[in-house]
Structure 1
Amino acid sequence: MSPAGRVDPYPTYEQLRGHGPVVQAGPVFYVVTDYAEADAILRDARFGVMDDNLRDQFLPGWRESPAVLSISRSMLRTNPPDHSRMRRLAAGAFTPRRIAAMRDVVVAQADELIDGMLARGRAPVDFLADFAYPLPVGVICALLGVPAADRPLFRRWATDLTGILEPEITPEELAVADRGAGELRDYFSALVAARRRAPADDLTTALVQAHDSDGDRLSGDELLANLIVLLVAGFETTTNLLGNGLVVLLDHPREAATLRDHPEFAPGYVDELLRYDSPVQLTSRMSTAPARHGGVDLPAESWLIVMLGAANRDPRRYPEPQRFDPWRPQVHPLSFGAGPHYCLGAALARLEAQVAFPLLLRRLPGLALAGPPERRIRLTLRGYATLPVTVGDGEASVVDRGTPAGATGATP
């Protein structure tokens, strides 16, 4: 939980693992570090996210916090049947067919952003600001129907709000998260009103119509909460995946060269990048009934921190887990969770990364770090605050665009 531990949590994960796959860290408080146990708990119907009754016990006064209240009314922090009801309403935007149809949109946006990086010449650019943020925010905003002119607003709002997902938060950080939640809520209230006046072919309109046709399907609070979560989750984790992944690839030039020449290997590379330095490091669950996992008896109302980043480096699952190896078979990282709360946008995030990394390496063969990147001091959402790079001598012309044939191919 220290700043140094958040910058590099992996040594601490190994120390925890030495005490067993499920470690009791306090009264009815447990930490899960191994892959098999984490996967099983995330799929076990006896474990869910914190409900209102438990919030009243653990977080007195939570209803006074716009950030906690907003997150608690979304599918991210609800259990069946409410979770299932809300998820079904949004799932139509994330079907395999809809995701596959977005490939050309992702390629076009990525190419345009690379053009902008090339136009800067030899001057260093911040990869996060110039590529890793605008690509996924542009894609999710297109799905939601958010005007392009409004996209620059969301990075600070999301950074503020997602502080609430940390396992420990100070009153000052909570005030910042509340500010972000309030600004996002105001924005989406205005967008909902605009879509009522002028419906469009986007996810916001679909959710507004679901609410207006039958308030039992989606309440007003749920409508705004889910729009906020869909936006924030739609780019925050992908931004971190792109930033974390680029640093790993630049640290492994031989593997990067192979991906540049063989974009069909991108799916396997992206899964290994998700495993090696997961953009989401942990999630939490509460037990509704006694259970036993990892040789430990877990009483009802146990609180578990499931360390996804630790599970992704479990040596029982992944030999030499500290080694980046894009040729690992059957990676299946837990970076997007598992079970009922498996990330709705996981396939979209994978698509964006599978397009972006080969394209960046091919069009920017001189891409290199321009200085040490700066980590965000976060544990739940792991990523960089700044990532300075140079694009080389501009060998890749702005006319050399598009994903090569075969970029939709199989894993290594």
Structure 2
Amino acid sequence: MHIDPYPHYAHMRATAPVHFNDTLQVWEVYGYHDIQTVLGDAKTFSSDLSDGKMMVFMDPPRHTQFRRLVARAFTSKVIADLEPKVQAITEALLDRVEAAGRMDLVKDLAFPLPVTVIAELLGLPAADHDKFKQWSIPAIRAAEMELMGQVPAPEFVAAVDELDAYLARLIASRRDHPTGDLVSGLLAAEVDGERLTLPEVASTCRLLLIAGFETTTNLIGNTLQLLLAHPKALRQLEADPELLPSAIEEALRFNTPFQFFARRATRDVELGGQLIRAGQQVMTFNASGNRDESAFPHADRFDITRTANRHLSFGHGIHYCLGAGLGRLEARVALSTLLRRFGQLRLDEGRAAEPLQSVVLFGFSSLPVVFETSEAVSELNVE
């Protein structure tokens, strides 16, 4: 289940697409159209599952105000303006491994790239980037355990406490001495006279860390792994680099980085022939919906030329991921640069890939690859 959940999802779609899990005491939703119904009806299926300080756990009208404030940091122009910075970070990361002819795609590129981008967006001093990276994984694991109704391990809690204390100091500093970074922008932004509170700014920063980097890390790793596992698709992409955005969308659909979302029913409602009672929790298995044949013909086929790819990987409805554009940009730049600079990419037979052991996230903690530099490949072709 941790490594390959898709056979289980197929079984559930066929036998119990809306299913009550007695152990977790939640309704599980597996079909594409039922998932769209849940995520598209925020009035019936509430996101308010916590203290309400984090945007993903807010309902309208506060969610609407909050999202309008935060969205200013993720406009298409802001994202486009970030491309030179993302490109420079990618080139620098690949410079470090080029001479070795091998790398761990996750540890050397897919993880440090989005974390560095987020750190720079938040205005963290360069000297603090490594510290920020060290806190990020425990923060992810703590959030994952909380989502599953588990008590986070003490070392994860300690790391989150350190991260929160750091963010509190950063926010206080930007409040007194604003700069041009995202934190300063969040503190200054107003919509209809409303400003974010300091706890809301802090929770947004943590949300950016958790949602912003983990999804992108897994997207980059999953896309390359799928291309290496499907040589025909890789040859298609090498012959036509313009297919890369489509390949990224197909990777998002085929191996969904974030497997499910959670909601709470606000009233009695029927879904898929089942009666969900008010107050009961609902989990939408978006990764399952993305393999639903009723929405995606030949859903179990990895096809980088697939059109009308309306996958659910970034959600649906009012909570559609604000950072989707940034994640797509980072994946496109990282993969296009990797494929341009390094030829004959293949999995490292001497070091096994390590899938994430998670029911929430789908990706790799380690993905070793070997390669030839573009110059070396060109010399071989000339000879």
Normalising by structure 1, report the TM-score: 0.84
In the other structure, the counterpart of 2:47 is 49
In the other structure, the counterpart of 1:34 is 31
Contact 2:49 2:263 in 1 (8 A): no
RMSD (Å), alpha carbons: 2.2
Quick one: which amino acid aligns to residue 105 of structure 1?
A: K
In the other structure, the counterpart of 2:380 is none
Contact 2:264 2:282 in 1 (8 A): yes
In the other structure, the counterpart of 1:140 is 118
In the other structure, the counterpart of 2:290 is 312
Normalising by structure 2, report the TM-score: 0.90
Unaligned runs of 5+ in 1: 53-68, 398-412
Describe how 1:345-356 pairs up with structure 2 within 5 A. Answer: 345-356=323-334
In the other structure, the counterpart of 2:180 is 201
Residue number among 155, 158, 168 corresponding to 2:136 in the alignment: 158
Unaligned runs of 5+ in 2: 377-383
In the other structure, the counterpart of 2:346 is 368
Q: How far off is 1:308 after superposition? A: 1.0
Identity over aligned pairs, percent: 36
Q: How far off is 1:170 after superposition? A: 4.3
Quick one: which amino acid aligns to residue 155 of structure 1?
A: K
Distance 2:55 2:375 in 1: 43
* Larger displacement relative to structure 2 (89-98 or 296-305): 296-305
Q: How far off is 1:375 after superposition? A: 1.4
Describe how 1:12-411 pairs up with structure 2 within 5 A. Answer: 12-26=8-22, 29-44=26-41, 45-52=43-50, 72-119=52-99, 121-122=100-101, 124-163=102-141, 164-166=143-145, 167-168=147-148, 170-171=150-151, 173-210=152-189, 217-370=195-348, 371-392=351-372, 394-396=373-375
Q: How many residues align?
A: 369
Once the two structures are superposed, what CA deviation does each residue of 1:272-301 show, in whole Å capped at 9, x if it has no partner?
000010111011110112222222222211
Distance 2:289 2:134 in 1: 30
Distance 1:183 1:340 in 2: 32
Distance 1:349 1:35 in 2: 23
Quick one: which amino acid aligns to residue 47 of structure 2?
A: V
Distance 1:154 1:334 in 2: 30
Quick one: which amino acid aligns to residue 311 of structure 1?
A: G
Residues 308 and 158 of structure 1, relative CA distance in 2, 3 Å threshold: same
Q: How far off is 1:174 after superposition? A: 4.1
Q: How far off is 1:232 after superposition? A: 2.6
**2:359 counterpart SS class:** coil
Q: How far off is 1:314 after superposition? A: 0.7
List, as ranges, runs of 4+ consecutive aligned residues in structure 1 with deviation greater than 6 Å: none
Distance 1:251 1:292 in 2: 41
Contact 2:291 2:299 in 1 (8 A): yes
**1:319 counterpart SS class:** coil
**2:186 counterpart SS class:** helix
Quick one: which amino acid aligns to residue 109 of structure 1?
A: I
